[in-house]
Amino acid sequence: MRADPPRLNRRAFLAAPIALTACDRFAAAEPTTNALASPLKDIVPAPFGATGMTWQIDQPDWVEQVLRHCSQLTPEWEQKMERTLGPGFAYDFEPSDRVVAFARDNGLRVHGHTVIWYSQGAEVFNDDLPRARFAAEYDRYISTFVGRYKGRMAGWDVVNEPVAEDGGGLRDCHWSRALGMEGYMVRAFEQAQLADPDAVLFLNEYNLENIPRKGATFLRLAERLLKLGAPIGGIGTQSHLNIEIPAGQITTFMRDAASLGLPIHISELDFPMQRDGGRMPDLRSTAERRAQQAARAGELAEAFMALPERQRYAFTTWGLRDSDSWLVRAEGKNRPDESALLLDAWGRANPAYHAVAAAFTR
């Protein structure tokens, strides 16, 4: 097994030179060593997290890398309603229990993901269910699920992805049809607070940096829910970054988000090299894509670093190494050559790693 590199002082850490430009100061970040990357938990000015699944905790190499780099773990799938809730409102939390136990046994704090999501639950919480039964089972699910881990979770994604895809409004879903567009969200936060009063409760969403209209709608929603009395304790931006967005767009969103005064979670960070379908052939070189990744990841890290310390909840990547990414797996995007995370499959630094380290250690 390759020996770990010596631990470096945070301020002295830079495994590769960073060329700065006026527009994209992180765009030229390049690795110059094949050594294992220095632990991210020693570099990031907040808990550094990644996702974990039950099959991964049986893999020694994954465990080694997670314990090397992480101080926080998010269950990637085991706490989603498609896994925890079955027909007849039967609950199964065994996989969730296993991931939470692994994290706690290894000194990692746990971030819960996710309680209420528009994408799941409609098979059981369907439109034919009487409204009184719907509301009662909704409350029971949240209180049972969240309460099961009372005092053991740092925070929860209580409501996930409530904003319409284009940012033009809020999503219509089975929850909103039964309990009201804002009502289902307020109710979820209230029930979660009753079940786990010390956890930080998050409103979580994606494409907030990528689509300014969606970011603005999300922040207005957070303000509205707070005015309605929802005990929101933090906001989560998933940060599945489009590496082609203009420089400065991430910074603008983070500055606007910070104005709410709530803790902010970079909750699902990745930055795909490959475009989704529906466009012209992608003629960018690998070097150009890597430069775009480094620029956007570095800008995000710099914007996170600029937050007051009390607002830096955690900095989490969706998967730790490239090989762990949902983008690579067959049940995800099935892109075996994708490289969208800070570490490669062997735990070495990708170019974006150096850009993030530069932002956090300068």
Indicate if 78 belongs to the active site.
Answer: no
Which of these, 159, 191, 192, lies nearest to 176 by C-alpha position? 159
- DSSP conformation class of 208: T
- Among residues 161, 209, 302, 338, which one is catalytic? 161
- What's the longest Cα–Cα distance across the chain? 62
Which of these, 42, 39, 50, lies nearest to 4 by C-alpha position? 39
Which of these, 262, 81, 45, lies nearest to 155 by C-alpha position? 262
- Among residues 78, 205, 209, 268, which one is catalytic? 268
Distant-in-sequence, close-in-space partners of 315: CB < 8 Å, separation ≥ 6: 44, 46, 47, 48, 49, 266, 269, 301, 304
Which of these, 233, 359, 260, lies nearest to 306 by C-alpha position? 359
The Cα 100–Cα 116 span in angstroms is: 19
CB atoms within 10 A of CB 22: 6
Indicate if 268 belongs to the active site.
Answer: yes
Positions annotated as catalytic residues are 161, 268
